[in-house]
Amino acid sequence: MTTAPSAAPRAFVRRLNLTQFRNHPRLDLETGDGPVCLFGPNGAGKTNILEALSLLGPGRGLRGADLDEMARQGPDGGPFAVTGLIQLGDDARRVGVGLERTATGQRRVARIDGKDAGPKDLAETVRLLWLTPAYDRLFAGPAGERRKFLDRLVFAVAPEHAQQASQFEKALRERTRLLEESRPDTRWLSIVEAEAAAAAVALGLARLEAVDALQSEIAQRPDGAFPKAMLALEGGFETGLRQARHAADAEANYARLLHDCRARDSAAGRALDGPHRSDLTAIHTPSGMPAQKCSTGEQKALVVTLILAQARRIASGLPTAKSAGFSGPNPLVLLDEAAAHFDPARRAALCEELLALPGQSWLTGTDQNLFEDFGSRATLFEVSPGSVRLMQ
């Protein structure tokens, strides 16, 4: 068993209120500072509660759904609201997010202690990590899903990472649009390529830093139920980043590559080089096997290893190049059906790992017995269609 980092005070959601969210017309949950376990049949609304929690940070939540999808449907439905009372050591912050409909459309609103809050404010208040069944075979799926998974881990430490990704994607779309013109403005193309290069290098460096930090954290873990892994971020762009002496050199090199490959990319209808082509790979250290060839259970165990490593990195407040001196609140870890594909020994090990973290974890499962290893150290709720009951 590992010991808990102690750089930041313990953080947990003390109370959660939902209004008109998915299948929950009204919900009011009070918890302790330990793990929160939600059990019940499929379709009862367990994952909906985790999704509501995931909205307390920036972004579209663990499902990436549109606002209208999250609002409760039907004649008695309406705009949703999610409010969490988050305890941060001796302090408490009330974070609220919701859907607001106006005469001109709809928008997401967010407030902290009654004041309007932006994405950075939310990210600095609660650091979110999550795992859903969609990641069970992460390493056997497309590279794009692994990039998104890695970016979510980076985002939990460096909120500005999402903006860098957005700027890069926007610049590439503009470049593709210009290349489709019969006589593109080459001066404007060069400006757009320089913007893409600046965002690409920031994006790539943050990813490389995250992989190195995760590898260091994993190396410090004792051997146990959750296997160690050898991680790598692979791609021609990353090779160039490692070889460049300075970030400015890397930007110039990538901008030059985009310039030289205009004809090729115009024919392809997209840029064929860059951080959008990278791949996160892993070797299952105990067996030496590539992660994509491992069983579903071992792949999921590897992904849990990454989540736990990042959670400990956040809790330790380790300074990084992107956020020197970072010592923000401890993570809120959301694990949807985490016990699936795990045997009893691995389920017990997961409970001990989560109890050792200073941050709070929320878990779902279909059977109460999946959480028996927490004993009295967790708050347990039975979720049924239309109701949530605290277990005594």
Range of the domain at 216: 139-328
Q: Does 217 reside within a domain?
A: yes
Same domain, 51 and 177: no
Site of tokens 């954290």 = 217
Q: Whole-angstrom distance between the N-terminal and C-terminal Cα of the chain?
A: 28
Task: Give me the count of residues in the chain.
Answer: 392
Q: Does 133 reside within a domain?
A: no
Question: Which token pair is 254?
Answer: 């990538």
CA 267/CA 236 separation, integer angstroms: 20
Question: Which token pair is 228?
Answer: 């160690």
Q: Does 22 reside within a domain?
A: yes
Same domain, 358 and 324: no
At which of 310, 328, 346 does a domain end? 328
Question: Which token pair is 45?
Answer: 């609304």
SS3 189: helix
Q: Does 131 reside within a domain?
A: no
Same domain, 232 and 176: yes
Same domain, 180 and 108: no
Same domain, 145 and 268: yes
Same domain, 162 and 262: yes
Which amino acid is present at 383?
A: V
Q: What is the pLDDT along the chain (392 residues), one digit of tens a residue?
A: 455 444 456 789 999 999 999 999 999 999 988 999 999 999 999 999 999 999 999 888 999 998 889 998 887 778 899 999 999 888 899 999 998 877 777 889 999 999 999 888 888 888 899 999 999 999 999 999 999 999 999 998 888 898 899 999 999 999 999 999 999 999 999 999 999 999 999 999 999 999 999 999 999 988 889 999 999 999 999 999 999 989 999 999 999 999 999 999 999 999 999 999 999 999 999 999 999 999 988 999 999 999 999 998 888 765 543 443 345 567 899 999 998 879 999 999 999 999 998 889 999 999 999 999 999 999 999 999 879 999 96
Same domain, 106 and 155: no
Same domain, 92 and 209: no
Burial class for 260, CB neighbours closer than 10 Å (0-12, 13-18, 19+): exposed
What's the structural domain count of the chain? 2
